[in-house]
């Protein structure tokens, strides 16, 4: 059985290599799995691609920028039986990946998502607006509309089987991809479990989030999906 790590990267020079090296490759191999690390260079203008290659990743170029575009290309290129996804900026504890893998294999789970709110959030890792208002409100809204029970719908560290990925019909090109995935996982009746994680401050690279714009895009996506155009 093979585990594929899929990591999108846009101008993450200085941290993408450290992120890749934080993946517990030896631990995963000792547990009997093959490992591949797929990085999608989302048309970076810095040294992201070479740094990722030097750290041991296989890098593919996706010129159409966007969170969803990068991930769709990454999962297309991945060859594993289990996919693990996470950001390139060092915020997610990829060293905790075996917890996700074990739940899938031992518990027969289809889709595992981290929970920053059930875990710990390092001081300064998440703006107060996101931590106390934005993320909780978006999570509550999604759970209400789509009859789910997530504690952290926007956590970007996730793992799922190849079969689960193929059941989810994911098409969003941008940041909406994050909530499209959790909605699809619920609506396709996947077996879902959350894992508390330790969320850290960004380790480098350039921040991509725009609080108001991205928040509104997520709200608009949910409203459109729930009630139509």
Domains of the chain from N-terminus onward: 2-227 (3.90.550.10)
Task: Check pLDDT > 60 for residue 117.
Answer: yes
- pLDDT of 135 reads 86
> How large is the average pLDDT for residues 28-49?
98
Contacts of 183 (CB under 8 A, 6+ apart): 142, 146, 148, 222, 225
Task: Band the pLDDT of 76: cuts 50, 70, 90.
Answer: very high
Task: Check pLDDT > 80 for residue 82.
Answer: yes
- pLDDT of 31 reads 98
- pLDDT of 157 reads 98
The continuous run of DSSP H or E covering 225 comes out as helix 211-227
Three-class secondary structure of residue 116 per DSSP = strand
- pLDDT of 102 reads 98
> How large is the average pLDDT for residues 50-62?
98
- pLDDT of 213 reads 74
Cα–Cα distance measured from residue 95 to residue 23, given in angstroms and rounded to the nearest whole number? 5
> How large is the average pLDDT for residues 19-25?
98
> How large is the average pLDDT for residues 58-85?
98
Cα–Cα distance measured from residue 220 to residue 223, given in angstroms and rounded to the nearest whole number? 5
- pLDDT tens per residue across span 136-177: 899 999 999 999 999 999 999 999 999 999 999 999 999 999
- pLDDT tens per residue across span 180-229: 999 999 999 999 999 999 999 987 655 655 556 777 888 899 899 888 75
> How large is the average pLDDT for residues 84-99?
98
Most confident of 27-31, 125-129, 223-227: 27-31
Rounded percentage of the chain residues whose pLDDT exceeds 70: 95
Cα–Cα distance measured from residue 110 to residue 107, given in angstroms and rounded to the nearest whole number? 9
The DSSP bridge pattern shows strands 58-61 and 34-41 to be parallel
Cα–Cα distance measured from residue 202 to residue 83, given in angstroms and rounded to the nearest whole number? 23
């Amino acid at each position: 059985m093979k585990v594929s790590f899929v990591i999108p990267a846009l101008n993450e020079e200085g941290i993408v290599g450290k992120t890749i090296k934080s993946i517990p490759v030896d631990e995963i191999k000792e547990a009997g799995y093959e490992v591949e690390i797929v990085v999608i260079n989302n048309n970076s203008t810095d040294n992201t691609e070479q740094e990722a290659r030097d750290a041991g990743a296989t890098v593919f170029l996706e010129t159409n920028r966007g969170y969803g575009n990068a991930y769709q290309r990454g999962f297309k290129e991945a060859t594993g039986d289990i996919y693990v996804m996470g950001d390139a900026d060092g915020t997610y504890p990829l060293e905790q990946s075996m917890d996700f893998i074990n739940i899938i294999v031992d518990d027969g789970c289809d889709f595992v998502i981290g929970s920053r709110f059930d875990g710990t959030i390092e001081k300064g890792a998440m703006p107060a607006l996101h931590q106390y208002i934005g993320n909780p409100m978006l999570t509550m809204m999604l759970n209400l509309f789509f009859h789910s029970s997530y504690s952290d719908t926007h956590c970007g560290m996730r793992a799922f089987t190849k079969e689960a990925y193929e059941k989810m019909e994911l098409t969003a090109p941008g940041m909406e991809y994050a909530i499209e995935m959790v909605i699809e996982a619920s609506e396709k009746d996947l077996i879902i479990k959350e894992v508390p994680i330790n969320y850290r401050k960004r380790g480098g690279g350039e921040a991509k989030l725009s609080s108001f714009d991205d928040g509104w895009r997520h709200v608009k996506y949910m409203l459109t999906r729930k009630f139509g155009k």
